[in-house]
Amino acid sequence: MNISHLLVLFALVAVLNLELNVQVAFGGKPSLSKDCADDGAGSSTIRPGAYASSCPEAEAIIFARVEEAVFEDPRMAASLLRLHFHDCFVNGCDASILLDDTDNFVGEKTAGPNLNSIRGFEVIDFIKADLEFVCPKTVSCADILAIAARDSVLLSGGPGWEVETGRRDSLGASKEDANNNIPGPNSNVQTLTAKFQKVGLALDDMVALSGAHTIGKARCSTFASRLNGNPSLDGAEINYGFLLSLQLLCSNSDNNSTLAELDLVTPATFDNQYYVNLLSGEGLLSSDQVLVTGDDGIRRTVESYVEDPMTFFEDFARSMLRMGRLGPLTGSDGEIRTNCRTVN
Residue positions forming the annotated binding site for Ca(2+): 87, 90, 92, 94, 96, 108, 214, 263, 266, 271
Q: Are 227 and 250 in contact (CB under 8 A)?
A: yes
Q: What is the DSSP string of 64-100?
A: HHHHHHHHH-THHHHHHHHHHHHHHTTTSSSSGGGPP
Instruction: Show binding-site residues for heme b.
Output: 213
Task: Residue 18: count other Cβ atoms within 10 Å of its Cβ.
Answer: 10
Query: Sign of dihedral through CA atoms 29, 161, 141, 32?
Result: positive
The residue from 65, 82, 86, 195 that is catalytic is 86
Please choose, from the candidates 297, 298, 220, the residue with its C-alpha nearest in 3D space to the C-alpha of residue 252.
220
- Whose CA is closest to 152, among 67, 227, 50? 67
Residues annotated as binding site? 87, 90, 92, 94, 96, 108, 183, 213-214, 263, 266, 271
Note whether 67 and 155 are within 8 A (CB): yes
Contact call for residues 52 and 166 (beta carbons, < 8 A):
no
Residue list, annotated binding site for substrate? 183
5 has catalytic annotation: no
- Whether the Cβ atoms of residue 100 and residue 341 lie closer than 8 Å to each other: yes
Contact 220, 272 (CB under 8 A): no
Q: Decide: residue 256, CB within 10 A, 0-12 exposed, 13-18 middle, 19+ buried.
A: exposed
Contacts of 150 by beta carbon, 8 Å cutoff, 6+ apart: 30, 160, 161, 163, 320
Strands 47-48 and 164-165: antiparallel
The angle that helices 203-210 and 296-307 make with each other, rounded to 10 degrees, is: 50
Give the 3-state secondary structure percentages of the chain, helix then strand then coil, rounded to 5: 50, 5, 40
Q: Please, which residues bridge with residue 329 across strands?
A: 168
CA 231 to chain centre: 30
The catalytic residues are 86
